[in-house]
Structure 1
Amino acid sequence: MKKNILLVAALLIFYSGQAQKIVKTINAEVSQQELKSHLYFIASDELRGRNTGTVENEIAAQYIASRFRSYGVQMAPGADSYFQQVSLMNAISPQKATFTVGEKEFALGEDLVFYTAKNGAFSGEVIYVGYGLEEDLEGLDLEGKIVVAKTGNGNPNERLTPYTIQKQRAVEQAGGVALVELFKPGRYPWRLIQYYFSGEKYSLYEGNEEEEEEAGFPSAWLLDEDGDLLSYFESLEEGATAEMTIGGQANKVIKVPNVVGYIEGTDPKLKEEVIMISAHLDHVGVSKVEGDSIWNGARDNGIGIANMLTAAEFLAKHPPKRSIAFLACNAEEKGLLGSRWYADHPVIPLEKTVYDLNTDTGGYNDVSKVTVVGFNRTSVTDLFSQAATAFNLEAIDDPLPEENYYDRSDNVSFAAKGVPSVSFDPGYTEMNEEITKYYHQPADEPQTLDYDYLTKYSKAYIYAVTLIGNHGEDIFWTEGDKYEPAGKELYGRD
């Protein structure tokens, strides 16, 4: 017994000493000036907000790749470039459209907006399908029909557009002619929907460029201010028909770069497992306003990219037992498209990717904390607390779960495939003016940041990656998490 106690004590002293050594090395080698220089470049006026599809966005991607190369971060195994080209459909909203059902006619803008569309005249029998979810569509014949549904899934706290995407795909695959969703204003006013759905929109595109003129599927939202239209469609006689005309819509296929890097782990066995570090490189570009029109995106997501590059420089010199991959995602602001593309076309097999540690932020308002969105959702919660405490910070869970930030950032692209994922972000405790005065505003510039805090935050992030990379126990979802079944399928667990 005495020998066992002595052995345990010796092991505790050894591991404590190792931890102190890593923390000391991080403190000595992570440079505030280097972190600051990344942010001043990424969020400079010259990069004009890094909007998807622009030259400045490409320059940001080239900068990240050049830093990877200089730090000794390798290309992913089997790759011949740091870049993964993401294929997007850039769609210009219709300039004219009508939707007619019986004696009712609805006009573009006033009553009708389009999520996706293509020019032409479309007609067919109308079928009302409730919310249009999988269980609502089961057993229904949608071939040649115009499908009418309610927006969302009935939960007012969840985003609506992800469900629009799901329904649109299901209706198109089932041979439907068009999807029309009834929108009753509540949390979001109609004028905001009009703004969001107008102009240019982006979506992933899996076809050939020659097919781009035919791409798109008529998917519209119809204003139902008082709920009268819902009653109308619910009581519509079987066999009733509708017509839809669309004009002035245009499509263009573009390619934008994700940036992927790789550091091989040190353990002969554990190096087959990969920890992914992700952050999005794009922002929203330049607006048509007087005065400062450049939306620099220092917080969103210059902090994430600077954090990634700072981690890359350190981890290239001090790799953990598991391998590390880096994914600078594009088109996050267009709907998480770059990370979704990677998850569908992984450069490193997802079954080898055992964790994703994302960074994405709209800002911070508590410099004593780091906020881990998904704090308790995976088996490494204690490591986040340990990493933060080492640099005099406190790791906390997302204080605004009602905003559903977890499913609104790139980590969810991995989670949906089953990869345990969180977003390790600068500290926020509420949505107040300190956040809103910078979030998606031209004022979000690099000189407004607290670099003493961000350096501590980045050190805690690097330590968290190191702890997870060296973790000797199982890494997986917390039992009962909604993404646990996808994880069991991905990794072949019972």
Structure 2
Amino acid sequence: MNNSKGEEMTYQAKVRQNSFPEGKEIFSWIKDLAQWGHRKTGTPEGRKSAEYIEGKMRAFGLEDVRIESVPSMCMMVEDFSLTVGGEKMDAFYINGTNRGGESGRFSFGTDGSESEFVYVGQGLAEDFERLDVKGKVVVASVYLPEFDMQKQHEWFDDPFVYDPLNQMEEKKKKVDIYSPSIWPANFYLAQNHGAVGFVGILENYMDDPYFYNEDYTENGWPYGCQYMSLPALWVSRSSGKKIKAEFETSGVIRGQMTVDTLYEYRNAFNVSGRLKGKSDDIVLVHSHHDAVFEGAVQDASGTSEMLALAKYFAQIPAEEREKTLMFAALDTHYTDYAANIGFVKKRKEVGDNVIIDIAIEHIGKEAAFDENYNLYETGQVEPRLFYVSEPKLYAFTKATIANYDLKKSIAALVPVGKGLEREYKFHQDEVISDAFYWNESGVPVVSMVCGMQYLFHNSDKPDRIPVEELQPVGMAFAEITTEAMRKL
């Protein structure tokens, strides 16, 4: 599918390439941000990330540079381990689990006690009806649904697709790592049927990992669950094979599961700076800086593009900036989004009139699976999705994508939200990105996001960055930002 052909576009670039940071400079910031191993909310590494960005903003000459703290509920894991049938298994805690209340320390198995384990297949409703899991640790096979890039076009009415080489038509094996499906339904069913723990086997995730990071606490409401209370661990496909073989041989197996977590409020850090323009109306450019692992693509790449835009526009005289520009790197992408919500509310409280949010996430190499779910790089960029909820910028965004040859891009005109205070109901064309809370608050957005298979994996390292893409993507957003200052 490619509707970029035959569509007449007139375009006159306004951004000066010789003034925009080169890809290698932007890449150096990505490597700097990735150096701490992670940038988790509420940790010293998270603070280092914020302070690094603050330093860059000051060095570029931004004004009113500040770090604002927002309380965020954080999961701190003190200890976890798994031994099944006498064999110690490699495992990793499941984000958001082992939470028995709003806050506090929650421990399971720290006294050395053993539990009975029961395998429930995929953990469908009928599996729990035929098996007694009360007082036992449930082991379930988690199969992530196949992901078809072609179906992404169907989410929107009349999307714009820029795919001049028809690369998005190529069939590649991918899974949906972002949307709830059998998981976490099987977790909540186990919780409601009286299980005392949960072990998920990652049957079809990349390579043979025993970790995967997503928090589905909010998905418990259909099951009457406020928290993901069960202690829970991921194990790999190969470890799962051993566990299932033990069940087939013994029927009943015992083992020891240890999970010790602390849930408490800690400070999240939002970093921002401004460039004064002819109007006090604010065009916001933002990304998020926190990361579970090194997070080169997720989201040192987006944060570094934001910094590149800040450095570029700092060279533009104030009298040539039609609007005030604000640049920001937000926190809590992996916890409760409290920093995003807090940042939106803070701007309204202090009277900042943000007229649009321009958000950038993920510039990375595409990867797919072979028939055994081993990950390989395709040699292409990951398809990009542009959400545009400001109609005045939609045609220009499409033209910019083509002008800067941002291959494998989809742009869709989506509705702006009607206010954060209303009851949330999912809709397929909502802005599924870090710009969600701005759009839902009624502020239009232009938001680019990409869905790499490795975003929740520790292989998200600087070598996943296509350095040659960094400047074109940044310059495209500089054009969109300039047009937003001019037209809104």
Question: How would you bin the TM-score normalised by the shorter chain?
Answer: 0.5 to 0.7
Instruction: Note the 1:291-370 alignment, pairs <5 A.
Output: 295-318=293-316, 320-346=321-347, 352-361=353-362, 363-365=364-366
- Contact kept, 8 Å, 2:389 with 2:445, in 1: the verdict is no
Could you tell me which of 466, 480, 491 is aligned with 2:482? Answer: 466
**Structure 1 residue 34 corresponds to structure 2 residue 29:** no
Query: Which residue matches 1:274?
Result: 282
Could you tell me which of 47, 71, 74 is aligned with 1:90? Answer: 74
- Contact kept, 8 Å, 2:23 with 2:469, in 1: the verdict is no
What is the CA-CA distance between 1:447 and the residue it aligns to?
2.8
- Contact kept, 8 Å, 1:336 with 1:410, in 2: the verdict is no
Give the distance between the partners of 2:305 and 2:439, measured in 1 at CA: 21
What is the CA-CA distance between 1:183 and the residue it aligns to?
7.8
- Contact kept, 8 Å, 2:364 with 2:382, in 1: the verdict is no
What is the CA-CA distance between 1:364 and the residue it aligns to?
4.7
**Structure 1 residue 387 corresponds to structure 2 residue 371:** no
Question: Structure 1 residues 158, 458: closer, same or farther in 2, change over 3 A?
Answer: closer
Question: Structure 1 residues 328, 404: closer, same or farther in 2, change over 3 A?
Answer: farther
**Structure 1 residue 55 corresponds to structure 2 residue 53:** no
**Structure 1 residue 257 corresponds to structure 2 residue 273:** no
Query: Which residue matches 1:65?
Result: 54
What is the CA-CA distance between 1:259 and the residue it aligns to?
0.2
Query: Which residue matches 2:440?
Result: 416
Question: Structure 1 residues 396, 407: closer, same or farther in 2, change over 3 A?
Answer: closer
What is the CA-CA distance between 1:467 and the residue it aligns to?
1.3
Query: Which residue matches 2:473?
Result: 457
List per-residue Cα deviations over 1:428-458 (Å, max 9, x = no partner): 5xx6xxx32x322222211332111222111
Cα RMSD over matched residues?
4.7
Instruction: Note the 1:393-408 alignment, pairs <5 A.
Output: 393=406, 395-397=409-411, 407-408=431-432
- Contact kept, 8 Å, 1:307 with 1:458, in 2: the verdict is yes
Question: Structure 1 residues 460, 249: closer, same or farther in 2, change over 3 A?
Answer: closer
Secondary structure at 1:414's aligned position in 2? helix
- Letter of the aligned partner of 1:317 in structure 2? Q
Give the distance between the partners of 1:43 and 1:67, measured in 2 at CA: 15
Secondary structure at 1:277's aligned position in 2? strand
Give the distance between the partners of 1:276 and 1:422, measured in 2 at CA: 10
Question: Structure 1 residues 50, 360: closer, same or farther in 2, change over 3 A?
Answer: same
Give the distance between the partners of 1:32 and 1:86, measured in 2 at CA: 33
**Structure 1 residue 219 corresponds to structure 2 residue 226:** yes
List per-residue Cα deviations over 1:343-398 (Å, max 9, x = no partner): 22227757611100111238453967973432366431112123223323355227
Secondary structure at 2:68's aligned position in 1? strand
Q: How much identity, in percent, do the aligned residues show?
A: 17
- Contact kept, 8 Å, 2:98 with 2:261, in 1: the verdict is no
Secondary structure at 1:42's aligned position in 2? helix
Instruction: Note the 1:469-480 alignment, pairs <5 A.
Output: 469-471=485-487, 475=488
Secondary structure at 2:457's aligned position in 1? coil
Secondary structure at 1:460's aligned position in 2? helix
Query: How many pairs does the alignment contain?
Result: 316
Question: Structure 1 residues 308, 337: closer, same or farther in 2, change over 3 A?
Answer: same
What is the CA-CA distance between 1:313 and the residue it aligns to?
0.2
- Letter of the aligned partner of 2:37 in structure 1? R
Q: What is the TM-score with the length of structure 1 in the denominator? A: 0.53
Question: Structure 1 residues 201, 160: closer, same or farther in 2, change over 3 A?
Answer: closer
Give the distance between the partners of 1:93 and 1:302, measured in 2 at CA: 24
Secondary structure at 2:38's aligned position in 1? helix
- Contact kept, 8 Å, 1:299 with 1:362, in 2: the verdict is yes
Instruction: Note the 1:123-202 alignment, pairs <5 A.
Output: 191=199
Question: Structure 1 residues 32, 280: closer, same or farther in 2, change over 3 A?
Answer: same
- Contact kept, 8 Å, 1:298 with 1:445, in 2: the verdict is yes
Question: Structure 1 residues 385, 398: closer, same or farther in 2, change over 3 A?
Answer: closer
Q: Which has the higher helix share?
A: 1
- Contact kept, 8 Å, 1:71 with 1:313, in 2: the verdict is yes
- Letter of the aligned partner of 1:421 in structure 2? V
Structure 2 unaligned regions, length at least 5:
1-9, 80-93, 106-176, 203-209, 219-224, 231-259, 367-378, 414-425
Give the distance between the partners of 2:363 and 2:402, measured in 1 at CA: 23
Q: What is the TM-score with the length of structure 2 in the denominator? A: 0.54
Structure 1 unaligned regions, length at least 5:
1-15, 76-80, 96-108, 121-156, 165-180, 204-217, 224-247, 285-294, 476-494
List per-residue Cα deviations over 1:160-216 (Å, max 9, x = no partner): 79xx9xxxxxxxxxxxxxxxx86899xxx974599999999999xxxxxxxxxxxxx
Secondary structure at 2:37's aligned position in 1? helix
- Contact kept, 8 Å, 1:373 with 1:405, in 2: the verdict is no
Give the distance between the partners of 2:433 and 2:351, measured in 1 at CA: 18
Question: Structure 1 residues 340, 197: closer, same or farther in 2, change over 3 A?
Answer: farther
Larger Cα-atom Rg: 1
Could you tell me which of 439, 443, 461 is aligned with 2:455? Answer: 439
